Amino acid sequence: MLYLVPTPVGNLKDITLRSLEVLQQVDVILCEDTRTSSKLLQHYQIQKPLTPYHQHNEHKVVEHLASQMKAGKTFALITDAGTPGISDPAFLLVRQCIREDVKVECLPGATAFVPALVNSGIPTNRFVFEGFLPLKKGRQTLLNQLAVEERTMIFYESPMRLVKTLEQFITVFGAERACSVTRELSKLYEENKRGTLAEVHEHFKAKTVKGEIVLIVAGKE
């Protein structure tokens, strides 16, 4: 079978006891980057074979992996941080396993956008998760569609592109639209900056931005 196991988005203590138990019991652990995953496994003294599974090889290996599971092997899939399948590889393998009647189980655990949304002060009853926006093709078209979105919007962004993205959001959503930016979630220098798009843009334009970014934008009233 296949276990989807969430891993900490920052603080290594943010992993469930059941996740650790599963990682200790499976035959093989699939991971994005063996160097990153090794640090987590070494911290918890887990010694299991690691096999790379990432966006560059997933199309090539899903059938082979599913066949190994059908033959009796149990796999766990982890990513560098957070829940597999949320802006990370997992979908193709899950779909293949379902097609071949291989049992799939996703454990509950860390997902970056949930705490960022909850502590944003922006309505949480209805929201849409957009993940990373397209870098070029389709980006403006998507933003134009979201200009009339009434639900709270959730985005992931890199620190290098944050200021530019905020500038685009001001153009599309208006400078006074409420937003919140969370970076370095659960780490020592976690920051949550809330305010209008104009205020948040000014804040980050004046500093060097580091860390993973979750950007929450209020929907259109």
Q: Which pLDDT belongs to residue 133?
A: 96
CATH number for region 113-217: 3.30.950.10
Q: Which pLDDT belongs to residue 136?
A: 87
Domain boundaries, the chain: 2-106, 113-217
2-106 matches 113-217 in fold: no
Per-residue 3-state assignment (H helix, E strand, C coil) for the chain: CEEECCECCCCCCCCCHHHHHHHHHCCEEEECCHHHHHHHHHHCCCCCCEEECCCCCHHHHHHHHHHHHHCCCCEEECCCCECCCCCCCCHHHHHHHHHCCCCEEECCCCCCHHHHHHCCCCCCCCEEEEEECCCCCCHHHHHHHHCCCCCEEEEEECCCCHHHHHHHHHHHHCCCCEEEEEECCCCCCCEEEEEEHHHHHHHHHCCCCCCCEEEEECCCC
- Return the percentage of the chain with pLDDT > 70, whole number: 100
Query: pLDDT tens, 20-41?
Result: 999 999 999 999 999 999 999 9
Show pLDDT as tens, one digit a residue, over the chain (221 residues).
999 999 999 999 999 999 999 999 999 999 999 999 999 999 999 999 999 999 999 999 999 999 999 999 999 999 999 999 999 999 999 999 999 999 999 999 999 999 999 999 999 999 999 999 999 889 999 999 999 999 999 999 999 999 999 999 999 999 999 999 999 999 999 999 999 999 999 999 999 999 999 999 999 99
Query: pLDDT tens, 129-143?
Result: 999 999 988 999 999
Range 2-106 classified under CATH 3.40.1010.10: yes
